[in-house]
Amino acid sequence: MGVRDIPLAAVWEALLGHDHSNADHGVIWNQRMPRTLIGLLAGVALGVAGALLQGLTRNPIADPGLLGINAGASLAVVSAIALFGVTDPAGFVWFAFVGGATAAALVYAAATLGPEGPTPVTLILLGAAVTATATSAITLMLLTDQPASPSTAAGRWGLR
């Protein structure tokens, strides 16, 4: 499926024997196949990550939001934009990865300090605390950023 209609027979021909002179085969091999493989790999990675989180927390509904990973990644991206001027989405990925990993490590390390070790309840409570802290820090950065403040925006649009 796509902007260019390619019959199913042409897809099978391209998969079984690639003809470099056939434009449909080029679309299949150079555009659709890589995107399909990336989508499959992303799905597998998300499934493995979910299974690891659920196994680690012994909670069948655990997700990255419960453990503060989403908030840690968001805080790192907002910090990269506000403090370092990162504007390239390819740069956001690395900051998000480091922020999410840092939040997960912080939650797990703090949970191990408890008398019973990292139980599902302590992991979730600490994840909620990390989420609240990171969300507050994100809000503080966004509110103190001059271009985003209401008075600057009102002046820019002539609303004073």
Q: What is the pLDDT of residue 156?
A: 47
| Averaged pLDDT, 131-158 | 72
Indicate the pLDDT class of residue 131, thresholds 50, 70 and 90.
very high
Per-chain mean pLDDT for the chain: 85
CB-based contact 62:119 (threshold 8 Å)? no
Q: What is the pLDDT of residue 77?
A: 93
| Averaged pLDDT, 58-72 | 86
Burial (CB < 10 A; 0-12, 13-18, 19+), residue 133, is middle
Please compute Rg for the chain using Cα positions.
23
pLDDT digit string, tens, across residues 7-46: 888 888 888 888 888 888 888 888 889 999 999 999 999 8
CA 19-21-22 angle, to 5 degrees, is: 70
Polymer length in residues for the chain: 160
Q: What is the pLDDT of residue 63?
A: 81
For the whole model, what pTM was predicted?
Answer: 0.67
- Domain boundaries in the chain? 1-59, 65-144
**Dihedral of CA 78/74/105/129: which sign?**
positive
Q: What is the pLDDT of residue 118?
A: 86
Residue 48 pLDDT exceeds 70: yes
Q: How far apart are CA 24 and CA 20, in angstroms?
A: 9
